[in-house]
Structure 1
Amino acid sequence: MTLGCQMNMSDSERVASVLDAAGCEKVDTEEEANFIGILACSVRQKAIDKVYSRISKWNKWKNKKNLVTFISGCMLPDDKEKFLKLFDIVFTMPELPQLPRMLGEYGISNPLSLIAQPQSPVDEIKLFWKVKPKYDSTFEAFVPIQNGCNKFCTYCAVPYTRGREISRPSEEILDEVRILVHKGYKTITLLGQNVNSYGLDKNGEEMSFPELLEKVGQIGEETDHEFWVYFTSPHPRDMTTDIFHIIAKYRCLGKQIHFPLQSGDEKVLIKMNRKHSLAKYRESMVALREILPQATVFTDIIVGFTDETEEQFENTRKVMEEFKYNMAYIAMYSPRPGAASYSWEDSIAMEEKKRRYAVLSEELAKHTYAYNQSLIGKTLKVLVREHDRKDGYLSGHTEGKLVIRFKSSDENLIGQIIEVKVTEAAKFSLEGERIAVKSLQ
Structure 2
Amino acid sequence: MYYYLLPLGCQMNLSDAERIRTVLEEAGYTSCQKEEEADLIGLVACSVRQKAIDKVYSKIHKWNQWKEHRPLITFASGCILPEDHRKLLGRFDLIFSIQDLPQLPQMLRQYGVTTALNGTFPALRDEPPPPSETGLDSYWKVPPTYSSSFEAYVPIQNGCDKFCTFCAVPYTRGREVSRPSGEILREIETLLDRGYRTITLLGQNVNSYGLDRHSREITFPELLDRIGALTRGHPLWVYFTSPHPRDMKEDVLEKIAAYPTLAKQIHLPLQSGDDTVLTRMNRNYQLRDYRSVTDSIGRILPGATLFTDIIVGFTGETEEQFLNTCAAMEEFRFNMAYIAQYSPRPGAVSSRWADDVPQEIKKERLHRLTRILEETSGAFTRSLPGTTQRVLVDGFDRKPGFLSGKTEGRIPVRMTDPGNIEPGSFVTVRITDARPLSVAGEILPSSGIAPGTSEQALAIPQGDILL
> Same fold per TM (> 0.5)?
yes
Q: Is residue 104–residue 110 contact of structure 1 (8 Å, CA) maintained in 2?
A: no
Structure 2 residue aligned with 1:272: 281
Structure 2 residue aligned with 1:210: 221
Instruction: State the distance in 1 between where 2:198 and 2:100 align.
Output: 28
Deviations 1:317-341 (Å, cap 9, x if unpaired)? 1111011000000000000001000
SS at match of 1:97: helix
SS at match of 1:204: helix
Deviations 1:295-336 (Å, cap 9, x if unpaired)? 100000000001111111111111110110000000000000
Structure 1 residue aligned with 2:293: 284
Q: Is residue 427–residue 447 contact of structure 2 (8 Å, CA) maintained in 1?
A: no
Instruction: State the distance in 2 between where 1:304 and 1:40 align.
Output: 24
SS at match of 2:231: helix
Structure 2 residue aligned with 1:244: 253
Deviations 1:220-254 (Å, cap 9, x if unpaired)? 22xx3200000001101110011111111100001
- Which runs of 5 or more structure 1 residues have no equivalent in the other structure? none
Structure 2 residue aligned with 1:392: 401
- For these two proteins, the number of residue pairs brought into alignment is 439
Indicate which of 3, 7, 11 corresponds to 1:2. Answer: 7
Residue 58 of structure 2 aligns with an amino acid whose one-letter code is: S
Instruction: State the distance in 2 between where 1:134 and 1:361 align.
Output: 36
Q: Which has the higher helix share?
A: 1
2:48 is the alignment partner of 1:43: yes
2:58 is the alignment partner of 1:53: yes
Instruction: State the distance in 1 between where 2:385 and 2:117 align.
Output: 59
Structure 1 residue aligned with 2:236: 227
- Which runs of 5 or more structure 2 residues have no equivalent in the other structure? 1-5, 449-459, 462-467
**For 1:337-352, what aligned pairs fall within 5 Å after superposition?**
337-352=346-361
Structure 1 residue aligned with 2:18: 13
Indicate which of 306, 314, 320 corresponds to 2:323. Answer: 314
Instruction: State the distance in 2 between where 1:275 and 1:210 align.
Output: 21
Taking only aligned residues, the RMSD between alpha carbons, in angstroms, comes to 1.6
Residue 234 of structure 1 aligns with an amino acid whose one-letter code is: P
Indicate which of 13, 16, 27 corresponds to 1:22. Answer: 27
2:78 is the alignment partner of 1:67: no
Q: What TM-score, normalized by structure 2, do the two folds share?
A: 0.92
Q: Is residue 27–residue 118 contact of structure 2 (8 Å, CA) maintained in 1?
A: no
Instruction: State the distance in 2 between where 1:423 and 1:332 align.
Output: 35
Give the deviation of 1:266 after TM superposition. 0.7
Indicate which of 148, 152, 158 corresponds to 2:159. Answer: 148
Indicate which of 340, 357, 367 corresponds to 2:366. Answer: 357
Q: Is residue 26–residue 116 contact of structure 2 (8 Å, CA) maintained in 1?
A: no
Instruction: State the distance in 2 between where 1:171 and 1:111 align.
Output: 27
Instruction: State the distance in 1 between where 2:43 and 2:236 align.
Output: 31
Q: 1:126 to 1:379 in 2, by over 3 A?
A: same
Q: Is residue 26–residue 118 contact of structure 2 (8 Å, CA) maintained in 1?
A: no
Give the deviation of 1:118 after TM superposition. 3.9
Structure 2 residue aligned with 1:263: 272
Q: Is residue 422–residue 432 contact of structure 1 (8 Å, CA) maintained in 2?
A: yes
Instruction: State the distance in 2 between where 1:212 and 1:120 align.
Output: 27
Deviations 1:16-66 (Å, cap 9, x if unpaired)? 000010000111211110100100000011111101111111111111111
Indicate which of 108, 113, 125 corresponds to 1:107. Answer: 113
2:97 is the alignment partner of 1:92: yes
Residue 76 of structure 1 aligns with an amino acid whose one-letter code is: L
- Percent identity (aligned): 54
Residue 198 of structure 2 aligns with an amino acid whose one-letter code is: T
SS at match of 2:108: helix
SS at match of 1:437: coil
Structure 2 residue aligned with 1:164: 175
SS at match of 2:87: helix
Instruction: State the distance in 1 between where 2:33 and 2:114 align.
Output: 19
Deviations 1:330-371 (Å, cap 9, x if unpaired)? 000000001000010001000111111111000000011110
Structure 1 residue aligned with 2:82: 77
Tell me whether 118-127 or 316-325 shows the greater mean CA deviation: 118-127
Q: 1:256 to 1:331 in 2, by over 3 A?
A: same
Q: Which runs of 4+ in 1 moved over 6 A?
A: 119-122, 438-441
Give the deviation of 1:104 after TM superposition. 1.3
Give the deviation of 1:413 after TM superposition. 2.4
